[in-house]
Amino acid sequence: KLIVAVEQEEIPRLKALYERGLQNNVRGLKLIGAKEIKEKEPFCRGLMALDSPYTGIVNYKQVAQSYAKDFQAAGGTILMDFEVTNMEMAKESPSESVDGKADFFPTFTTGEEIYCQHVVTCAGLYSDRLSEISGCSSEPRIVPFRGDYLMLKPEKCYMVKGNIYPVPDPRFPFLGFHFTPRMDGSVWLGPNAVLAFKREGYKLLDFSAGDFLDAVTYSGLWKLVLRNLSYGLSEMYRACFLSAQVKQLQKFIPEVTVNDVLRGPSGVRAQALDSDGNLVDDFVFDGGSGDIGSRILHVRNAPSPAATSSLAIAKMIADEVKQRFEL
């Protein structure tokens, strides 16, 4: 990966990233100049870049499927299409419980009940709603942001050899456009970041009245919008006009034109937001009080790069489970 500074004002932030990387023992990290940028990425222009030669890409679907197989091999059961509708204490322990101690259960839309001693939730876009169902706090709230990608046309993918990223700007809430090669040889460009009108609103016209009202009636969202009004309007403009997105890409690869790109897939980011309008960019663990709350650990926020760091995060969650439930 190259993190590329294209403006003089970005260089101090780039150097700060470099120092942080050294402190975290990132392998092979170094700062390079314009000539070396060209050697690594012939079509990329920049004043200075942070070169991370051991950053790689994977097919994360395969990684997740492998995790699932390991979990099942260890005796775990995976149930899909099970939406939680309620959590409550059982009046008596069911006969099938282990040692008669499983006296707590969630209820699912299927009408089925699953008895257990403890629950750990990692619910992403629905983490706040699942917390409320269990009687825990509604904060931080989840506000969905859709990110739309562009793709280089297949015959133009030669212009990008590796990951090319902008220097993060702490004044704005999202990373900005970057170039991402995929395992199938395609190159994704983006994403942008616009408010989604549905928690799983992967398409432009996806809309849920409940999800929309939940977002726009939240004071934290309005505080965020007012602080970043210009940035937000720019993102909305770029979402509508392809040429505006390409202009952002040309800061790094001037040869890219509107004719070189196609509209690609979209993702939805489960952005945790507090009531003061601050984007929550750290881990949030939450439980509760009483019989139910003391048996639950909600992972309310697991910020990017959550997939990259999934094994380290899993260990952190396991340690938290042991401590909270005294296992």
Domains of the chain from N-terminus onward: 1-55 (no CATH), 60-140+281-325 (3.50.50.60)
Report the pLDDT averaged over residues 85-104.
Answer: 62
Question: What gap in Å lies between CA 34 and CA 11, rounded to an integer?
Answer: 12
Is the pLDDT at 100 greater than 50? The verdict is no
Higher-confidence residue of 86 and 181: namely 181
What's the pLDDT band for 267 if we cut at 50, 70, 90? very high
- Residue 233 has a pLDDT of 81
Report the pLDDT averaged over residues 183-192.
Answer: 94
User: Where would I find the H helices in the chain?
Assistant: 11-23, 34-40, 60-73, 127-133, 209-216, 219-227, 229-240, 242-249, 290-293, 310-325
The three-state secondary structure class of 313 is: helix
DSSP of 295-307 = TEEEEEE--SSTT
User: Where would I find the H helices in 93-208?
Assistant: 127-133
Q: Mean pLDDT, the chain, as a whole number?
A: 89
Least confident range from 3-7, 19-23, 173-177, 207-211: namely: 173-177
Give the number of other Cβ atoms within 10 Å of residue 47's Cβ: 15
* Phi and psi based region of residue 190 (left: phi greater than 0; alpha: psi -120 to 50; beta: remaining): left
Is the pLDDT at 95 greater than 60? The verdict is no
- Residue 134 has a pLDDT of 86
- Residue 27 has a pLDDT of 95
What's the pLDDT band for 193 if we cut at 50, 70, 90? confident
The alpha carbon of 97 is separated from its chain's Cα centroid by a whole number of angstroms, namely 36
Give the number of other Cβ atoms within 10 Å of residue 234's Cβ: 15
> Secondary structure of 235-285 in the HEC alphabet?
HHHHHHCHHHHHHHHCCCCCCCCHHHEEEEEEEEEEEEECCCCCECCCCEE
